[in-house]
Amino acid sequence: MTMPVQPLPSGEPLPPRKILRSWLEPQSRRTTARPIALLLLDYVLLAGLLALVIFARSTALKLAGALAAGFVIGRLFIIGHDACHQSLTPHRALNKWLGRLAFLPSLTPYSLWEVGHNVVHHGYTNLKGVDFIWAPLSLAEFRALPRPRQWLERLYRSGWAPGLYYMVEIWWRKMFFPGKAAMPSRRPVFFKDCWLVALFGAGWLGVLAWAAVATGQPVHWLLVFGFLVPFLFWCSMIGFVVYVHHTHERVRWYDDRSAWSRAQPFVTTTVHLTFRWRVGALLHHIMEHTAHHLDMGIPLYKLKEAQARLEELLPQRIVIQPFSWRWYFATARRCKLYDFKAERWTGFDGSRPPAQQLRPE
């Protein structure tokens, strides 16, 4: 398939996914040295920041180091995410071990993430009843919930609690020794990976406790700054990232598999969120998300190029959103529930909130 010379007009039907992926074939080539260097860099950064937390006498410095450590845990997770997709290096076995190594600080079991993310989320993106990450409720579903659960849904969708959503609904219920309801398949590798991250977490806590005693600091205080704050920041970071990828007034969700299939959701169900000041590069380009959903084989170090090419060839097809906190909280106010028949977001009362007029940022 030769690369099209002209962009596809907006009124034309999308070609099959195989053809769209062929357009990005040059960006799917992987290397080995570069991702390993990125992994080592992020581990060095994490170690340095945790050392700052341990040895700094200023509470403000400890807090700054703890928050930055949480951000680096997010960067490591993104590397592991690529390895889990087999897009990090050309070597399958190496990807599995690099992925497990990169996932350790976020306490993410590799094999469970692989099933929940690669198979479920990417296989059925925004199909209600299958894809479970930030899947919106209908008005009838929301009203059928017990009152405490309604309050929790309101908190999750407030814009202030993406970290709580991820920590409770994804990590605790589906990733860390999940019960049968969340993971009916009980493969031995799932438990091995859960024990791997549990032992890593115990070792992390143990080193911090030892360091506290060795430096004459309160143990509980160092555990808060060296473990709890970075982990909570990481949960907030990933919860936010996944929320903004799939919650937008132009992003559609489906509860009918036929309609979902006809919509060719690999292009229309995610957002390319853009930032100033190279924030996207700091996030290993995970925000170039449309190209990633079209072809999971594109490595993170080629996503920016792939996204630009895709937007050039498919003008007006891709949701591109410049980030601002004004936009984010406007979206949180308007996107509470989803009316699957009308194909639109609503408030918790089922009505469509008035349009928010946003000035250019």
What is residue 208's predicted lDDT score, i.e. its pLDDT? 98
Q: Per residue in 31-85, pLDDT tens?
A: 999 999 999 999 999 999 999 999 999 999 999 999 999 999 999 999 999 999 9
User: Among 65-69, 322-326, 353-357, whose mean pLDDT is lowest?
Assistant: 353-357
pLDDT at 278: 82
> 266 pLDDT exceeds 80?
no
Q: Tokens 């928050």, residue?
A: 67
pTM (predicted TM-score): 0.92
For the chain, the domains span 17-346
In whole angstroms, what separates CA 350 from the centre of its chain? 28
Please provide the distance, in angstroms rounded to a whole number, between the alpha carbons at the two ends of the chain: 40
Mean pLDDT (the chain) is 91
- Amino acid at the residue 309: R
The stretch 258-286 carries a mean pLDDT of 85
Which one, of 225, 203, 229, lies nearest residue 55 by Cα?
225
- Tallying the residues shown for the chain, one arrives at 361
